[in-house]
Structure 1
Amino acid sequence: MKIFRAREFTASRPWGALDIATMNGITTRLHWTNQPYEWHVNEGQEVFAVLDGRVEMYWREDGKQQSVVLETGDVFYASIGTEHVAHPIGQARILVVETAGSV
């Protein structure tokens, strides 16, 4: 057993991660960031939960770019093939659940 205190986690670089678990090929990682990620498409599904802070999530659907501001406690689900990028508003801590080895 181990306890992870998300609000206390920081990393030495944006999107630095703390590996929490790998179960049946699925990873759960805690990320800290204060900088945007990059546009990407995951090979599998992704669950993105904001544990602390705020994040503006952008995605492209049917050729149109959309966005939403995710508050602490909000969850974003990216299905296979969803192009997306996260832009934190200040510092944020995010729990990401995805196929091991995803971008």
Structure 2
Amino acid sequence: MKVIRSKSFTGERAWAALDIANMNGITTRLHWTDQPYKWHVNDGQEVFVVLDGQVRMHYREEGVEREALLEVGDIFYASVGTEHVAHPLGVARILVIEAEGSV
């Protein structure tokens, strides 16, 4: 049993993570960041939920770069092969659900 107060979680570096659960190889992690990540493609699917702050998600579809502004409560789903990068606008806390060991 765990109760996690996401608003109180901070990290010592960008994209610091708190491991919440591993359910048969699917991880749930809480991330704190104030810096962009890097362009990447996950090994599997990814669910990205903004819990605090705002995130400008850049992604590529058929070679065309697009972006979406994600607010608190918004969810970004990256299917296999979706190239993407998250740019927080200030501090953000993000819940990420993905295959264990994914980039």
- Which category describes the TM-score, using the shorter chain as reference length? over 0.9
Equivalent residue runs for 1:67-86 within 5 Å: 67-86=67-86
- How many residue pairs match? The answer is 103
Equivalence for 2:18:
18
Q: Please give the root-mean-square deviation of Cα atoms over the aligned residues, in Å.
A: 0.3
Inter-partner Cα distance in structure 1 for 2:19 and 2:25: 13
Letter in 2 for 1:32: W
Equivalent residue runs for 1:25-44 within 5 Å: 25-44=25-44
CA drift at 1:53: 0.3
Instruction: Return 5+ residue gaps in structure 1 as ranges.
Output: none
Task: Say yes or no: does 1:51 pair with 2:51.
Answer: yes
What TM-score do you get using the length of structure 2 for normalisation? 0.99
Instruction: Return 5+ residue gaps in structure 2 as ranges.
Output: none
Structure 1 runs, 4 residues or longer, greater than 6 Å off: none
Inter-partner Cα distance in structure 2 for 1:56 and 1:7: 19
CA drift at 1:11: 0.5
Per-residue deviation, residues 72-98 of structure 1 (Å, max 9, x unmatched):
000000000000000000000000000
Identity, % of aligned positions? 68
Per-residue deviation, residues 6-43 of structure 1 (Å, max 9, x unmatched):
11100010000000000011000000000000000000
Per-residue deviation, residues 27-75 of structure 1 (Å, max 9, x unmatched):
0000000000000000000000000000000000011000010000000
Inter-partner Cα distance in structure 2 for 1:55 and 1:76: 10
What TM-score do you get using the length of structure 1 for normalisation? 0.99
